């Protein structure tokens, strides 16, 4: 599988006519390229983002590439859990199916701050809000899988994570302090970033375990070291090294970065590997199994997220 996966490009995406897709943060970076390529293969794509103006600019740009793309704006602010709830409700008002959800939006190594909901900004943006959005849409995804008439028909959830989860930050989820409020020093933003990305990997495994029987598969992935604006505000030594590395890496473009998302979201080669973590492109990263191999870890994160979201009015029937 590896050789075939490594050769995967957007040209290998199967026909997606009739598919409905959401890409969070799809107006820029690898999210833009992901949304564009899925739309070019006839999927109806919703770009979920805070800024309607930026999304409409992105859609206009896509239509200059291919006039027929079917792309729409869905208002979603991951730093406001009320917005997450409203976005899911609005999507359900507009559509009756959801075939692929790509939780792509994120921030990286930000200074310590809380969202209006009281959570550390990276924890909420990269994990908790996406988890809430996903769980809110799972009933529709179950219905979509049932309509397809096959438990292996390809209804998928993709968490865009990072391999930083595997070598930075705390070794395990800090259940008593998900904000990592006591962590200090120049690398503290990176440790919080690693922490929330650990959670996104574990969450994909947990969702797959619970929903595979309904025809829904969940995955997580590392897109690679990509030239985007995510790292611009990080003034630490590691941030400087990261930016220099990206400047010297000729293949770290958004087109390259989107390949792994597109592969995991559409390729039949991942069908038997639900819950797994993929490195670019299409490479199973077995180091992640240290995070996901113990079912108790997934259960504890699931329960933690449920408690945190219950405080904001979410109630899920798992």
Catalytic-residue membership of 19: no
Q: What confidence score (pLDDT) does residue 227 get?
A: 61
Is residue 10 a contact partner of residue 40, using CB atoms and an 8 Å limit? yes
| pLDDT tens, residue by residue, 89-137 | 999 999 999 999 999 999 999 999 999 999 999 999 999 999 999 999 9
Percent of the chain whose pLDDT exceeds 90: 85
List the catalytic residue out of 46, 197, 205, 227. 197
When comparing pLDDT for 252 and 163, which is higher? 163
**197 in catalytic set:** yes
The pLDDT tens digits for 205-253 are 999 999 999 999 999 999 998 765 554 444 554 454 454 444 544 446 9
Sheet of 155-160, strand order: 70-75, 44-49, 20-24, 100-103, 155-160, 216-221, 277-279, 283-284
Mean pLDDT of 21-32: 98
Give the domains, in start order, of the chain with CATH numbers: 2-306 (3.40.50.720)
Rounded-to-integer distance, Cα 191 and Cα 65, Å? 39
Cα–Cα dist 208/300, whole Å: 15
Lowest mean pLDDT among 68-77, 84-93, 231-240: 231-240
Q: Which of 19, 32, 46, 193 is catalytic?
A: 193
Which pLDDT band, with edges at 50, 70 and 90, does 88 fall under?
very high
């Amino acid at each position: 599988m590896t050789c075939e996966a490594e050769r995967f490009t957007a040209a290998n995406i199967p026909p997606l006519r009739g598919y409905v897709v959401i890409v969070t943060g799809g107006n820029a970076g690898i999210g833009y390229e992901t949304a564009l390529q899925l739309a070019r293969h006839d999927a109806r794509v919703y770009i979920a983002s805070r800024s309607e103006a930026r999304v409409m600019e992105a859609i206009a740009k896509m239509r200059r590439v291919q006039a027929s793309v079917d792309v729409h704006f869905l208002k979603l602010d991951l730093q406001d859990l009320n917005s997450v709830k409203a976005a899911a409700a609005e999507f359900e008002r507009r559509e009756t199916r959801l075939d692929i959800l790509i939780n792509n939006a994120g921030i990286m190594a930000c200074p310590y701050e809380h969202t209006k909901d009281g959570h550390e900004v990276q924890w909420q943006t990269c994990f908790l809000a996406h988890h809430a959005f996903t769980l809110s849409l799972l009933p529709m995804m179950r219905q979509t899988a049932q309509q397809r008439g096959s438990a292996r028909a390809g209804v998928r959830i993709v968490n865009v994570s990072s391999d930083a989860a595997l070598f930075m930050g705390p070794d395990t989820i800090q259940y008593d302090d998900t904000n990592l409020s006591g962590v200090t020093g120049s690398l503290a933003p990176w440790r919080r970033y690693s922490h929330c990305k650990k959670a996104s990997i574990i969450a994909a495994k947990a969702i797959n375990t619970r929903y595979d029987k309904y025809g829904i598969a969940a995955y997580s992935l590392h897109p690679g070291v990509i030239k985007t604006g995510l790292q611009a505000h990080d003034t630490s030594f590691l941030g400087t090294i990261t930016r220099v590395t990206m400047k010297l890496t000729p293949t770290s473009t958004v087109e390259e970065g989107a390949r792994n998302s597109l592969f995991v979201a559409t390729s039949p080669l991942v069908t038997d590997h639900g819950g797994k973590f993929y490195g670019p492109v299409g490479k199973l990263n077995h180091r992640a199994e240290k995070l996901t191999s113990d079912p108790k870890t997934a259960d504890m994160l699931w329960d933690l997220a449920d408690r945190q979201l219950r405080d904001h009015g979410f109630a899920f029937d798992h």
